[in-house]
Structure 1
Amino acid sequence: MRLNHKQGCAGEDAALAFLQAQGCKLIARNWHCPFGEIDLIVKHGKILVFVEVRYRRSQAFGGAIASITPAKLAKLNRTIDYYLQTQQPGNIPCRLDAVLIEGGSTPVWLTNITG
């Protein structure tokens, strides 16, 4: 099933605006490689943050957080490893975060998600 592209873009726009309001600076958006895609890559202070954006219309079926499965985390980690190997950002601390958006509510920023 293909996701609604307009809703996905709107969710990413909202997540990016939220993160920028928290002091993050955009490095890349929708970065692709053979292993997958990273929705947003931002710098927060001295930390490189890879951000998975999850939008759901409601909290039904567990909401946005339930959509981040162990398989999704494994795919994200492979993609991040590829980014770090090919883009060579240097010896900079990094982490994987998620921004969850449900309906019209304020985004929720989860830091250092590991599963």
Structure 2
Amino acid sequence: MSATESRKTGTQYEQQARRHLERAGLRFEAANVTVRGGELDLIMRDHATWVFVEVRYRRNAAFGDAADSITRQKRQRLLYAARVWLAGRQASFDTAPCRFDVVAITGEHLAWLPNAFTAE
């Protein structure tokens, strides 16, 4: 799969995740926010809480499902990107309620994992 095809596939699943979260009552804020050293797939609001969403897709579970693909290093990059993004809004993990959700899509199965990991 070329980089262009991969990006197109990623965008498709991020849009699917966004629609799912919006139907659940979350409000969309931003997508594909890139900071030096990390990227945030989706930023949503759940009332007053910032929700940073990592969207993962796997065609099948032959090598584990999509949620299994989030390594410690990936979590660290997500935490860093969220920290930088919040700082740009004069906020921090200490001053703004936040959580990290995962939308894992394995084949046709979508699993929303609220509060999948924390900033600690």
Could you state the TM-score of these two structures normalised by the residue count of structure 2?
0.86
How big is the shift at 1:81? 0.8
* Structure 1 residues without counterparts, runs of 5 or longer: none
**1:21-70 superposed Cα distances (whole Å, 9 cap, x missing partner):** 00011111001111211000000122110000001111111110111000
Of residues 15, 27, 52 in structure 2, which corresponds to 1:25? 27
Alignment partners' CA distance in 1, 2:41 and 2:56: 9
How big is the shift at 1:10? 0.9
Alignment partners' CA distance in 2, 1:92 and 1:78: 15
Specify the SS of the correspondent of 1:10.
helix
Alignment partners' CA distance in 1, 2:90 and 2:11: 28
| Partner residue in 2 for 1:108 | 111
Structure 1 runs of 4+ with >4 Å offset: none
Counterpart code for 1:75 = R
Q: Which moved more, 1:56-65 or 1:88-97?
A: 88-97
How big is the shift at 1:88? 2.7
Of residues 56, 63, 72 in structure 2, which corresponds to 1:54? 56
Matched, 1:64 2:66: yes
Alignment partners' CA distance in 2, 1:28 and 1:102: 24
Alignment partners' CA distance in 2, 1:55 and 1:5: 12
Question: Aligned residues, how many?
Answer: 114
Specify the SS of the correspondent of 2:117.
coil
Of residues 7, 14, 17 in structure 2, which corresponds to 1:15? 17
* Structure 2 residues without counterparts, runs of 5 or longer: none
Alignment partners' CA distance in 1, 2:15 and 2:81: 21
